[in-house]
Amino acid sequence: MALFRCNKCGHLQEVGNDYIGKSAKCPQCQQTAPIYDTVQFVEKVLEKYFKQQKELLKLQQTTNEVNLLEIQVIDKPEEEFFSLKDVDILNTTELTNDHQYLPIIKWFATKQVKVTVNPKELDTTGFFDEVALELGNNYEMLKEITDKIKRIQKKGYTNINFPLAQKSQKHLQEIVKFCDQLHKYAFVAKNYYQKQDKLIKLTLQTAPAIVQFFNGVWLEWFVFVKMLHFLRERQLSFSGARSIIVTLPNEDYHELDTFFLIDNRIPICIECKTGEFRQDLDKYSKLRKRLSVDKSQFLLCVVGLSDEQAQGLTSMYEVTLVNEKTFLPHVEQLLR
């Protein structure tokens, strides 16, 4: 027998072998769909099933490794506080050591909140942090090109033409330099600058990590690394982590973009947004209260947000809004 399966409503029906390879209308929704040989259909279904099973086992293995590490960390005795004094922040695996983020896990444990830390998110030996710093420090000049990369990626395309004829000489130079950096660190596959036409041509990477970076993860890296430099320069003891999962007593879980515990007692949580954020204001307000973090210490960093907007929204909601330029001055004021 052959099989008819409707891709629209899911209706499944056996038909005669004479119909294999033909199409027919679904008796339920009238959508036209092909008729399959039963054996071939089952083989395709099994192929997808075993592929998904392998992916699930791989994810479970990764989760078990992280959870095992978490259990081992909690059982460890107190150690000397972690220091970045002689560490190259932009090129180190030191932050992945469990004794670096152990105080964060213990701090949350006192609130009956479970924390899962993925050490890979703290490894700065790649180039995500360098590119994030360049973008964050020069956002006004570079936002056009990164916004365009983000839009093109969402559409599934890989080629971009970026005209620079209307830019000032300084602006043009900054963009050309940034695109060279993107190519050097393999954030784009190709980079070609037509000097005579003042036109940049980029071929984008399709790797998920690169797509996620331009989709907003770059701001998390920027905030994280700027905080590391800030705290080290002021010789403050701290623990820091990014992309941590917190599980509340009722089993609700949330991802926190960046979290620092200063002097083993002052929590600073910074959520990062590069796009629309207004729909999340109430969510973050409720999360802050459930984590028992003071409003002044729970920051929503929205790139490009004006100081006036930040002040007004802070007075309206139970979180503190800042932008890429003001989050560090706010933290400095807190520590005074």
All structural domains of the chain:
2-61 (no CATH), 79-122+219-335 (3.40.1350.10), 128-211 (3.30.1370.30)
Q: Examine the pLDDT at 42 and tell me if it is beyond 70.
A: no
* pLDDT tens by residue, 224-256: 999 999 999 999 999 999 999 999 999 999 999
Please tell me the predicted confidence (pLDDT) of residue 224.
98
| Backbone torsion region of residue 292, taken as left when φ is above 0, otherwise alpha when ψ lies between -120 and 50, otherwise beta | left
Q: 25: how many CB neighbours lie within 10 A of its CB?
A: 12
* pLDDT tens by residue, 55-109: 665 555 555 444 544 444 444 444 445 667 788 999 999 999 999 999 999 999 9
CA distance 313 to 230: 26
CA distance 314 to 16: 67
Which one, of 269, 320, 264, lies nearest residue 293 by Cα?
A: 269
Please tell me the predicted confidence (pLDDT) of residue 87.
87
> Residue 77 has what DSSP assignment?
P
Q: What is the mean pLDDT of residues 117-132?
A: 96
HSE, CB side, 13 Å, CA atoms: give it for residue 85: 6
* pLDDT tens by residue, 258-314: 999 999 999 999 999 999 999 999 999 999 999 999 999 999 999 999 999 999 999
> Which residues, 6+ apart, have CB-to-CB distance to 257 below 8 Å?
220, 223, 242, 243, 270, 271, 272
* pLDDT tens by residue, 298-327: 999 999 999 999 999 999 999 999 999 999
In the numeric block, which tokens belong to residue 303? 């790139």
171 to each of 63, 167, 178, 197, how far by Cα in Å?
Answer: 45, 6, 11, 16
Q: What is the mean pLDDT of residues 3-30?
A: 77
Q: Which of 34-48, 81-95, 162-176 is the least confident region?
A: 34-48
